[in-house]
Amino acid sequence: MKAAIMQPTYLPWLGYFDMIDQVDTFVFFDDVQLVKRSWGVRNRIKTANGELMLTVPVKKTKSRDETLYSNAKINYEEKWISKHLNSIKRAYSKSKYFSEIFPVLENLISVKYNSIADLNITIIKSIASKLGISTNFLRSSELEGIEGTKDERLVSVCKKIKADYYLSARGSAEYIEKNTPGGAFGKSGIKLYYHNYEHPQYNQLFGEFIPFMSVVDLIFNEGFEKGLEIIRSGRREPLGYLDFRKSMDIVNENSK
């Protein structure tokens, strides 16, 4: 059984949905620390003036270490909902699928949620469903007996849900591969692969194509029906951790 585990980010990019689409079970890592200014609270859209970052304000706590995705309270005293919706409307009002997509996003964003995890997960699951992705979703906060930190915790989640294949985001290699090849996965019996994705181009407003925007940029311009086909077009064969390490060595060598 294939699994991926990722923090629930705000209006994620295309690659996030490609990871969801590639696995049988996708686990939202919602009981880990919410890092300030991370993708957990913000993402980008393309406007007539270039990229625009949309950020969800989170209430401050005494200890940042205790602020998890699952308990991070959204600051609804700030008028961010109307700000985000107005920015999205200005950016995409002339897009081909505006009349179809905007009401969906408006309904999702306008609800008041208990936490940033609830907001992000609801949006991700709704967009995934409308794209035609049928992956099973879980939340790590709902799993009992999960132990360890970093890669050991990922292995613990995989064992809990009986996954024998783990698809990792490339950014996680920084701690998975830090001490030994494959980290805790190397001795777990769980196959470790890294996501391999080449950002596809699609019809986009306002001139030259800019990659790595929120998925909303894709669905406004291409619609839900064509969206998944475009997302899948960027998919490349996942890299085993040994091949991934070799590719990183080549990149590092070329950058010297």
Question: What percent of the chain is predicted at pLDDT more than 70?
Answer: 95
Q: Is it the case that residue 256 has pLDDT exceeding 60?
A: no
**Beta strands 165-168 and 191-194, pairing class:** parallel
Contact present, 206 and 47 (Cβ < 8 Å): yes
Task: Quote the pLDDT of residue 49.
Answer: 95
Average pLDDT, the chain: 93
DSSP string across 15-71? HHHHHHHH-SEEEE--SSB--TTSTTSEEEEEETTEEEEEE--B---S-GGG-BTTT
Cα 100–chain centre separation? 23
Q: Which residue's entry shows tokens 């936490």?
A: 115
Residue 134, SS3 per DSSP: coil
Q: Is it the case that residue 253 has pLDDT exceeding 50?
A: no
Q: At what angle do helices 116-131 and 98-110 cross, to 10 degrees?
A: 150
Contact present, 22 and 1 (Cβ < 8 Å): no
Q: Span 183-211, mean pLDDT?
A: 96
Contact present, 50 and 29 (Cβ < 8 Å): no
Task: Quote the pLDDT of residue 255.
Answer: 37
Q: pTM for the complete prediction?
A: 0.94
Q: Span 224-237, mean pLDDT?
A: 97
Count Cα neighbours of 34 within 13 Å in the Cβ-side half-sphere: 31
Task: Quote the pLDDT of residue 36.
Answer: 82
Name the DSSP class of 238.
P
Q: Is it the case that residue 112 has pLDDT exceeding 70?
A: yes
Task: Quote the pLDDT of residue 227.
Answer: 98
Q: Span 1-6, mean pLDDT?
A: 98
What pLDDT band is residue 251 in, cutting at 50, 70 and 90? very low
What pLDDT band is residue 254 in, cutting at 50, 70 and 90? very low
Out of 169-178, 190-199, 205-214, which region has the weakest mean confidence (pLDDT)?
169-178
Q: Is it the case that residue 188 has pLDDT exceeding 70?
A: yes
User: Beta-carbon neighbour count of residue 207 at 10 Å?
Assistant: 9
Task: Quote the pLDDT of residue 179.
Answer: 85
Residue 235, SS3 per DSSP: strand
CA atoms of 213 and 210, how far apart (whole Å) = 7
Q: Is it the case that residue 120 has pLDDT exceeding 60?
A: yes
Q: Is it the case that residue 150 has pLDDT exceeding 70?
A: yes
Contact present, 136 and 21 (Cβ < 8 Å): no
Q: How far is CA 150 from CA 21, 32, 35, 171, in A?
A: 24, 10, 15, 12
pLDDT for 23-77, tens place per residue?
A: 999 999 999 999 887 999 999 999 999 999 999 999 987 666 679 999 999 999 9
What pLDDT band is residue 247 in, cutting at 50, 70 and 90? confident
Single-letter amino acid code for the residue at 222: E
Q: Which residue's entry shows tokens 């609270």?
A: 41
Single-letter amino acid code for the residue at 55: T
Task: Quote the pLDDT of residue 249.
Answer: 59
Task: Quote the pLDDT of residue 37.
Answer: 79
Domain locations in the chain as residue ranges: 2-142+198-234
Our CA dihedral for 5, 8, 9, 12, rounded to 10 degrees, sits at: 70
Task: Quote the pLDDT of residue 246.
Answer: 80
Residue 117, SS3 per DSSP: helix
Sign of torsion over alpha carbons 94, 95, 101, 102: negative
